[in-house]
Structure 1
Amino acid sequence: MNPTPASPTPVRDDLERRLAAIGEEAGRHVFTRVAARQARAEADAADARRRAGLSLGPLDGAIVSIKDLFDVAGEPTTAGSAIRCASPPAAADAPVVARLRRAGAVIVGKTNMTEFAFSGLGLNPHYGTPGNAADPARLPGGSSSGAGVSAALGTSDVAIGTDTGGSVRIPASLNGVVGFKPTARRVPLAGAFPLSPSLDSIGPLARSVAACAAADAVMAGEEPAPLRPPALADLRIGVPRGLLFTDTDPGVAADVEAALGRLAAAGARIADMTIDDLLERFALATAAAPIASVEAYEVHADWLDREGAGMDPRVRVRIERGRPVGAAAYLRMMRARAELIRACDARLLPFDAVALPTTAIPAPTIASVAEDDEAFSRTNVLMLRNTMVGNLFDLTALSLPLPGRALPAGLMLLARHGHDRRLLEIGAAIEACLG
């Protein structure tokens, strides 16, 4: 990403074009708030720096959107919920928002999301469901639904989302953009409305790995630096065939195999591996309720009985699954998770990355799940199945668009805890190979 070419379009002109596009597409429910006045001031400041020959880095003058669960000073943080519309305005920007502003990003507004970030499909009965970038009649993916659509339509250069079970990578996959989930807690979670603090992470969506890497570095408080993609012949890529490849759309499966074939032809060493036994052990450890439900119930417990009737019932029922789980059961879950994280790390040790479909299916129609609870549940589980591996096992993960698809889908790369920079560089190499 290079927002400061030799003869750049003025940032203000670029911003006005994006604002016009956002206005024209208001019916797609992508944004919940557009910060036009402040964005214009930020764009003018970026143009002034350019005229003076100054730059704050690779995000200076980039148009950035943020998911509607981050604190922005003076605004209520609604987290996609009508219940929180009357909540007190935030006293300060979330640290990631403040860091983006200091890096010169132009914050264009807040993007729509699943209520309280608790679904992989992107439906929102309060603010409308964003239409998929490839086909507005289809699901955008969630929970960072508006972020995925905004990045794909080009109304933002970078869209900032959160990822608890795939909420950055699913909308990236379904809308045909890149989505990055950093190692949990590497990017500060303060000022972001929580879903599941043990699993939450903050990541970018954009149209290139380089743009995601620049935004990730800024949010993590690191110095952005150009990626150095490795030679594909140096890479060892594991493919976890088994449970994570079942029920996959035939077209998606064929395109994943074609991508792996291209990597092998370029010299990458592709080898089958398995984590099915670890997945089965995780399912047993969390049989009482998912970790996300247990932690989400704690977040909402003080007001759930009083105000829960105003929530999306599909979100509330997932939160309520955590209600019966006591402290002893939760602590046992977390001890089992720590053991399984160590076991998964050992399983990934022989590989530079693990590759599999990001989502088993491309985007279904909104109508197919909007009124059918059984179809919603079945589709939501299938959408989250692969991506949640990265969160449960505390990995870093990246979704790349599979090339040439009318209905987008993604190739997901997983890497060991803390290997974020290495994964982004591997992703850049694979991105170049796949075109």
Structure 2
Amino acid sequence: MTDLAEFSAAELLEGYAAGSFTPVDATEAALSRIEAQNAELNAFVLVDRESALDSAEASAARWKSGQTLGPGDGVPTSIKDMFITSGWPTLRGSTLIDDAGPWDADAPCVARLRDTGAVLLGKVSTPEFAWKGTTDSERFGATGNPWDPAMTAGGSSGGSSAAVGAGMGPWSVGTDAGGSVRIPAAFTGTVALKPTFGLVPMFPASPFGTLAHAGPMTRTVTDAAMLMDIITGFDSRDWAALPTPTTSFTDGLDQGVEGLRIAFSPTLGFGENDPEVERLVREAVDVLADQGAIVEEVDPGFADPVEPFHVLWFTGAAKVVAAYGPQALAKVDPGLRAGIERYADASAQDYLDATAVRMELGVLMGAFHQKYDLLVTPTMPITAFDRNRQAPEGWKSDLWTSWTPYTYPFNMTQQPAASVPCGVASDGLPVGLQFVAARTQDRLVLRASRAYEQAAGEQFVRPVTVPAAQGAG
């Protein structure tokens, strides 16, 4: 039997239905990958082997009797350690949090996964309070990349991307308030979607407020669409939750991009790319044009909103740290502390001014999408760097926003944005392609991502083919 750890969720479900193998087989395969590779990658911070196997056995019985619970029944799944999960501590990468609990509630996405019969393997790593674009913390250490464990998996959902990329379960759920599912997806050659804000309900509310989204992290676009079907839907605990979708996110997934109007912006007008990244992204855009998309190279026309983003970001971070007492700031990640201190004097007027910039950006992008169905950019201007660094060696700044210019603007606008792999650079590390659409047009983002996945073939990287212990080269 081919290693089930390399199967997509869709392939696993087909196999369960055909009786070719069971959820127990798939769960044991995922647990074997965790046992073999987690010491090196540090993706999982909690593994509940006994509970996972019990869930898998219950799922196998349901498949045998024809009484499955839903479209994720029996799929091995990991949960980012930002989501509260009944029975497991949620420590958010912080030494400030006592693991004693009580841990007696599920976040909405966790509850939906339980309801569908998914096999929950454990919790995966995050930087402290998910504050940055790499995944390392004082509490749990640094998370490595399946392509080369010495390199970062990105962040803040780096544990999810490393787990998915290494075959430790075919899908995970991450959070994204400034790029946190897309950054690690680009660095690990996986797929991630930041949905329209409110489409995936969140509880408790994120300290980063209305910047924060939750979304699927997978190895294929189809799996991302399938996972969206599970984790979306109204939840009264989230005041901003959108109504439950009435159609599947897999509907129309294979309709292609012919006739779609695509704006290609290689830098958004203010970024700068590694030449290898730009080459691979341009080749990917050519693939879209070959499939019938109407492509025009054009920038959306806004300046880098990084300073307004910082005001929103670090005032939110200050609020969450302050909840742990007056001495808490001295105990957090030094980079987080520096950012909070830098914006400690931000006033209500500063916050309102930042919000005004955000609103203007939303208006601009709304008008932009009247002309263009999709915006395509690199997800990241660089490939992954040393897992123990906060930025590439010699970079202009250690602050994570200095090397993620194409992600955080679309948290400010709350638009759907996906990252899909578009090849491997000469350093042996993957590159990501970002699709962005107008608010609520999540299916269009998935459809275009799927069209590229189908057309690109071998350039659509699947990292589980790369032994984690050996890297890519």
Q: TM-score range by the shorter chain?
A: over 0.9
Query: How many pairs does the alignment contain?
Result: 429
DSSP 3-state at the match of 1:66: strand
**TM-score, length-normalised on structure 2?**
0.85
Aligned to 2:409: 389
Residues 159 and 269 of structure 1: CA distance in aligned 2, closer, same or farther (over 3 Å)? same
Given that 2:193 and 2:215 are in contact with CA atoms closer than 8 Å, whether structure 1 keeps it comes out as yes
Aligned to 1:318: 339
For 1:13 and 1:230, how far apart are their aligned partners in 2?
A: 34
Aligned to 1:420: 442
Given that 1:121 and 1:383 are in contact with CA atoms closer than 8 Å, whether structure 2 keeps it comes out as no
2:314 to 293, 304, 309: 293
For 1:65 and 1:94, how far apart are their aligned partners in 2?
A: 14
1:247 to 265, 269, 272: 272
Residues 241 and 371 of structure 1: CA distance in aligned 2, closer, same or farther (over 3 Å)? closer
Aligned to 2:44: 31
Matches within 5 A, 1:266-281: 266-276=291-301, 278-280=302-304
Larger proportion of helix: 1
Given that 2:33 and 2:166 are in contact with CA atoms closer than 8 Å, whether structure 1 keeps it comes out as no
Residues 4 and 279 of structure 1: CA distance in aligned 2, closer, same or farther (over 3 Å)? same
1:128 to 125, 141, 147: 141
Residues 371 and 348 of structure 1: CA distance in aligned 2, closer, same or farther (over 3 Å)? closer
Aligned to 2:422: 402
User: Counterpart amino acid of 1:212?
Assistant: A
Q: Does 1:113 align with 2:137?
A: no
For 2:250 and 2:365, how far apart are their aligned partners in 1?
A: 30
For 1:38 and 1:329, how far apart are their aligned partners in 2?
A: 48
Aligned to 2:75: 62
Aligned to 2:464: none
User: Counterpart amino acid of 2:229?
Assistant: A
Q: Does 1:335 align with 2:344?
A: no
Q: Which stretch shows the higher mean deviation, 258-267 or 178-187?
A: 258-267
1:96 to 98, 104, 109: 109
Matches within 5 A, 1:139-288: 139-191=152-204, 194-221=206-233, 222=245, 224=248, 226-228=250-252, 229-243=254-268, 246-276=271-301, 278-280=302-304, 282-283=305-306, 286=308
DSSP 3-state at the match of 1:74: coil
What is the CA-CA distance between 1:115 and the residue it aligns to?
Answer: 1.0
Extract unaligned runs of 5+ from structure 1: none
DSSP 3-state at the match of 1:187: coil
What is the CA-CA distance between 1:234 and the residue it aligns to?
Answer: 1.8
- Could you report, residue by residue, the CA deviation over 1:61-102 in whole angstroms, capped at 9, with x for unpaired residues? 111101001111133321111221346332211111011110
Given that 2:265 and 2:300 are in contact with CA atoms closer than 8 Å, whether structure 1 keeps it comes out as yes
DSSP 3-state at the match of 1:14: helix
Q: Which stretch shows the higher mean deviation, 225-234 or 349-358?
A: 225-234
- Could you report, residue by residue, the CA deviation over 1:322-369 in whole angstroms, capped at 9, with x for unpaired residues? 421222321232233223211211112211211110000000123554
Extract unaligned runs of 5+ from structure 2: 1-9, 234-244, 458-473
Given that 1:235 and 1:269 are in contact with CA atoms closer than 8 Å, whether structure 2 keeps it comes out as yes
- Could you report, residue by residue, the CA deviation over 1:355-403 in whole angstroms, capped at 9, with x for unpaired residues? 110000000123554898x859447234321111211122100001013
DSSP 3-state at the match of 2:368: helix
Q: CA RMSD in A?
A: 2.2
User: Counterpart amino acid of 2:216?
Assistant: P
Aligned to 1:4: 13
2:62 to 46, 49, 68: 49
Q: Percent identity?
A: 32
For 1:329 and 1:338, how far apart are their aligned partners in 2?
A: 14
User: Counterpart amino acid of 2:13?
Assistant: T
User: Counterpart amino acid of 1:387?
Assistant: T
What is the CA-CA distance between 1:407 and the residue it aligns to?
Answer: 0.5
Residues 304 and 247 of structure 1: CA distance in aligned 2, closer, same or farther (over 3 Å)? farther
2:92 to 79, 87, 99: 79
Given that 1:151 and 1:207 are in contact with CA atoms closer than 8 Å, whether structure 2 keeps it comes out as yes
